[in-house]
A and B are shown apart, each in its own frame.
Chain A
Amino acid sequence: EPEVTQTPSHQVTQMGQEVILRCVPISNHLYFYWYRQILGQKVEFLVSFYNNEISEKSEIFDDQFSVERPDGSNFTLKIRSTKLEDSAMYFCASRRGGEAYEQYFGPGTRLTVT
């Protein structure tokens, strides 16, 4: 069964450093998403991506964040200058599109900023 994959599973970085989180969405899906989950809290939407551009973003997704689909398979989230409060699980999700509303999530990347 196709699944969303994410790398790395755990990333430790120092405050102020740049990190890139990687995702491979399900191959025939058209919509891609990043969500985050701070420990013990609910899952929060960051950004959606469709047709090679951002379609929606939340107030969390400020200028420190960017997304890219550098080739036909990868979808990346970059945080330019990490802060302590960026420590969270980051989940990538994808959706086929149209009336198919189902979103499928990857296993997540645990980002720890020290």
Chain B
Amino acid sequence: QQQVKQSPQSLIVQKGGISIINCAYENTAFDYFPWYQQFPGKGPALLIAIRPDVSEKKEGRFTISFNKSAKQFSLHIMDSQPGDSATYFCAAPASGSARQLTFGSGTQLTVLP
């Protein structure tokens, strides 16, 4: 069974700071790595995703870095804002045709004003 290990469990950052969340995976068949953002009482919303043929992808203040040799990928939130306060999940799809997602345990981010 695929495993995705996420850290830290919680993170507190000052407004304007950089938030960094890390994930490690075990199954080398993973070929797509999304990050989801979840606000309390809401469903996970796809934030940004990367394919392993690139080492980095940036969308606005959000950047995914991918290290294939270390089997790790991370989410960087630049200029963190209080509105970014949410739970962030990394995920990876199974190798079958259904591509169901295995989620990390989540990181609760709090950005202080």
Nearest 10 CB-CB pairings of A with B:
A48-B98, A105-B43, A56-B98, A101-B32, A55-B98, A43-B103, A45-B100, A42-B103, A107-B43, A105-B44
Asked whether A66 is an interface residue with its Cβ less than 8 Å from the other chain, the reply is no
**What is the interface of chain A, defined by CB distance below 8 A to chain B?**
4, 31, 33, 35, 41-45, 48, 50, 55-56, 91, 95, 101-108
Interface residues of B in 54-113 (CB under 8 A from A): 89, 91, 93-94, 96-106
Instruction: Look across to chain A and name the residue whose beta carbon is closest to the beta carbon of B102.
Output: A45
Inter-chain contacts of A45 with B (CB < 8 A): 100-102
* Whole-angstrom distance between the Cβ of B94 and the nearest chain A Cβ: 7
Inter-chain contacts of B41 with A (CB < 8 A): 108
Is A107 a contact of B42 with CB atoms below 8 Å?
yes
6 additional contacts, CB 8 Å, given A43-B44, A48-B98, A108-B42? Answer: A4-B43, A43-B103, A50-B98, A91-B44, A101-B93, A108-B41
Is A43 a contact of B100 with CB atoms below 8 Å?
no
* Complex-state Cα separation, A48 to B100, whole angstroms: 7
Which residue, B49, B98, B102, B103, has most C-beta atoms of chain A within 10 A?
Answer: B98
Inter-chain contacts of A31 with B (CB < 8 A): 98-99
Is A50 a contact of B97 with CB atoms below 8 Å?
yes
Instruction: Look across to chain A and name the residue whose beta carbon is closest to the beta carbon of B46.
Output: A102
Give 7 pairs: A residue, B residue, CB < 8 Å, sorted on A.
A31-B98, A43-B101, A91-B44, A101-B34, A101-B99, A103-B46, A105-B44
* Complex-state Cα separation, A55 to B45, whole angstroms: 24
* Complex-state Cα separation, A42 to B3, whole angstroms: 12
Known: A91-B44, A101-B93, A107-B43. A33 touches B100 (CB 8 A): yes
* Complex-state Cα separation, A41 to B96, whole angstroms: 25
Known: A42-B89, A43-B44, A55-B96. A103 touches B106 (CB 8 A): no
* Complex-state Cα separation, A102 to B44, whole angstroms: 12
Instruction: Look across to chain B and name the residue whose beta carbon is closest to the beta carbon of A55.
Output: B98
Contact check: which of A35, A56, A95, A102 meets B94 at CB < 8 Å? A56
